Amino acid sequence: MSEKTKKAKKPIQILRERHGGMSDKLKEWRKESRRIKKAIKEQLKTKPMRIPDLTEVIGDPSHLIFYHIIAMKRWEDVIETGKDEDDYIIYGLKGQEYE
């Protein structure tokens, strides 16, 4: 292949070559993060829930569920739908109609 027909590498490609791509630890974290977010969305499709309820159903520690709920709230995937008698915030999916 001549140099004229070769495509120029983008800066991100050069960076990945230099640093060897994503580490296994980062890949595992992203995979786990996607799993938790998917589980949260599946649970919130049925009804709005509190953090303790999500923790109980999903089975992950509450600090991880809370972290992902806040991130999803920041990106407007999740909204606050109210509070219960114990002042826990109840979360639901944005645009989801609940009965």
What is the pTM (predicted TM-score) of this model? 0.79
- Based on its alpha-carbon atoms, the radius of gyration of the chain, rounded to whole angstroms, reads 20
In CATH terms, is domain 33-99 a member of 3.40.190.10?
no
Least Cα distance to 40 among 14, 77, 9 occurs for 77
- pLDDT per position in the chain (99 positions), as tens? 555 567 888 888 888 888 887 889 999 999 999 999 999 999 999 999 999 999 999 999 999 999 999 999 999 999 999 999 999 999 999 998 887
Domain ranges of the chain: 33-99
